[in-house]
Structure 1
């Protein structure tokens, strides 16, 4: 009999079940309480009159755990200093969507050598998230593979669905069952309607194929996630954070019956993929807030210990410490200065 399935599958590797990994690396009661509290605070910043500014900031991706810890310790100290006006959430991104090919993130290739040891990647991601929570840092990530949340979602305070996947039914369904506030980015073409449709879809109940905590194929039934919002990240036509773009997004949200709450991604097409332009985007948003805008509730920044990025793949021992191997980032000094500037500029909101 001719083989008609798995013709292009070379190997199938068993993974630990989500329940097994959660048992091996359980969250503590303190971590659970922290995640629950922070999710509620983020929800209030996004959807109520809480006037704090939500800042999702950190490396484009985590590839060096020690550099990630170094960055996190600095960010935790800074976040305490500005907490009265700026709510800082650290980017802890383990999965990277690729336009064609490339390194897919720490979950998929934790050894950075093409061995794709996903079991180790999941363990590493979960352990690192626990460390961040113990530092008092809220965690943010982009969820790409629909199975990954079963392993790490209980340790995540805010998540994103990226521009490449915001139109995907699979990801809208996944979002409908997630337990944290979530931002849908506009499409790569700049379409905000893509994100708005995703928000409306994710708010509804869904039933779809997935796995349960024991790792068995299951029909997942969700109630819908009411805490989704739009993220503007620019598109093929250019940036979309100007007053005109913000006003247009407000109109689209109102027409869809959604709360006018907008988070701006300062990277990607909003900075013409030039990391050092991200502070300029923040300053433009601050100018709009100073002029009376109330819908801009936060921003995202790609930041690392050192500026720029470095080519990858290359031998791990040749990688420069604290430099991104995915998108370019601003350095720590620039980040620290910008956060303090943001904090100072928001003072009139709290007068």
Structure 2
């Protein structure tokens, strides 16, 4: 029988048995050991509200991303940052560095920082800052939500918009006002719950191809998410509601490689664009796609990931069409380390997938900006062609 722990209680303080409150105590919560109430989203939003400048940044960056995705802006969308956020101070330092580069390159790149708080696991493992913020198995989710929101406000204060992956369908109510771009991961790209979620989000959403490399299911997700949906959700006050969405016209495809190997090569991109054009998404869909240089496209090897980005930059500069955005995993220190309490970890080094080191990241961002310069020059000179 489950135990309920009060939101402000300690080890055993203010606990009481569920039995008297459950409708069917013999059949409910058989495999639940404890229920920890979490304050409603409005509590966290009031505790850590966005100021006028942060709100302006979110709105303007969302519009810039939409303009790139629909071909109204010839800049390149770049989603860059740690595989996951585990240390708020390291995230703030990374955002400070990225902001300086963004000010230099924002005429050619729309740079958005990866600020990922939820990590899907193939089996088991650390599931992200929200789930276990102390990295010690204490699973203080209330603290994790607060820290996640604090990280987002810090990133926005540095002058950088934020991107994240939406995994749990409840999480967006706590954080989405501070996020400019969202992703649905390869494991969830065919999920009806996530298609419904995307249909109501106030930002562009990228659907990754599935882990086996299937692009059609991601295209179907873009199509499905463009429609209105009705489903159970919660509102800002934590009440269960029937949500009705308008549909999201800014969903797009992300090529992230697969268990079978990379899919960022010219032929794979061309084939994906053809499949997207033939899909139900139709002519109103985003005319291009994003390439994730990490994950299956580099075998989670940051050295190979550098090569992927350089190859994509060369192709973009040479006039290859259809690549509207690039994603890469980067942190202050390169590589990875196993999760552990913060005082046992190297500062600014990933505890999930290995990342590209900051110095190399900065070089790659300049390489991508130079590629946009070359593409613009070739178009202005009338010699633009797809190689």
Distance 2:255 2:137 in 1: 33
Report the Cα distance in structure 1 between the residues aligned to 2:226 and 2:251, rounded to whole angstroms: 8
Name the residue aligned to 2:353: 327
Unmatched runs of 5 consecutive residues or more in structure 2: 1-23, 378-387
**Conserved in 1, the CA contact under 8 Å of 2:330 and 2:357?**
yes
Segment of structure 1 superposing worse, 92-101 or 337-346 = 337-346
**2-structure distance, mates of 1:259, 1:133:** 27
* Alignment deviations for residues 66-103 of structure 1 (CA, whole Å, 9 cap, x no partner): 11111111110011111111111000011100001111
Aligned residue among 258, 271, 281 for 2:298: 271
Say if 2:324 is the partner of 1:297.
yes
* Contact persistence 1:234–1:241 (CA under 8 A): yes
CA deviation after TM superposition for structure 1 residue 315, in Å = 4.3
Output the TM-score relative to the length of structure 2: 0.88
8 Å Cα contact 2:333/2:348 also seen in 1: yes
Indicate the RMSD between aligned Cα atoms, in angstroms: 1.2
Kept in 2, the 8 Å contact 1:54–1:86? The answer is yes
User: Partners of 1:170 and 1:283 in 2: how far apart?
Assistant: 36
Aligned match for 2:271, one of 236, 248, 258 = 248
Task: Please name the residue that 2:67 is paired with.
Answer: 44
Distance 2:163 2:81 in 1: 9
Report matched runs for 1:82-97 at 5 Å: 82-97=105-120
SS in 2 for 1:245: helix
Match of 1:310 among 330, 337, 341: 337
Counterpart check, 1:350 vs 2:376: yes
Cα pair 2:77 2:111 within 8 Å, conserved: yes
How many residues in Structure 1 have an aligned counterpart in Structure 2?
350
CA contact (8 A) 2:195 2:221 kept: yes
> Of the two structures, which has the highest relative contact order with CA contacts closer than 8 Å and spacing of 6 or more?
1
Q: Secondary structure at the match of 1:259?
A: coil
How much has 1:348 moved relative to structure 2? 2.0
Structure-2 separation of matches of 1:259 and 1:103: 34
Which of the residues 333, 337, 347 maps onto 2:363? 337
Q: Per-residue CA shift, 1:262-305, capped at 9, x if unaligned?
A: 10000011002212111211122223223422210110000011
Q: Cα deviation per residue 1:221-246 (whole Å; 9 max; x = unaligned)?
A: 10111100000000111100111001
SS in 1 for 2:333: coil
Match of 1:17 in 2: 40
Moved over 4 A (4+): none
Q: What is the alpha-carbon distance in structure 1 between the residues aligned to residue 333 and residue 277 of structure 2?
A: 40
Contact 1:109 1:118 in 2 (8 A): yes
Give the whole-Å Cα distance in 1 for the aligned partners of 2:372 and 2:71: 17
Q: Look up the match of 1:139.
A: 162
Aligned pairs for 1:167-186 within 5 A: 167-186=190-209
User: Structure 1: 5+ residue runs without aligned partners?
Assistant: none
Structure 1 counterpart SS, 2:325: strand
Out of 341-350 and 189-198, give the one that drifted further. 341-350
Q: Return the offset for 1:13.
A: 0.7
Matching of residues 99-138 of structure 1 within 5 Å:
99-138=122-161
- Considering only CA atoms, is the larger Rg found in Structure 1 or Structure 2? 2
TM-score normalised according to structure 1 size: 0.97
**Distance in 2 separating the partners of 1:24 and 1:273:** 37
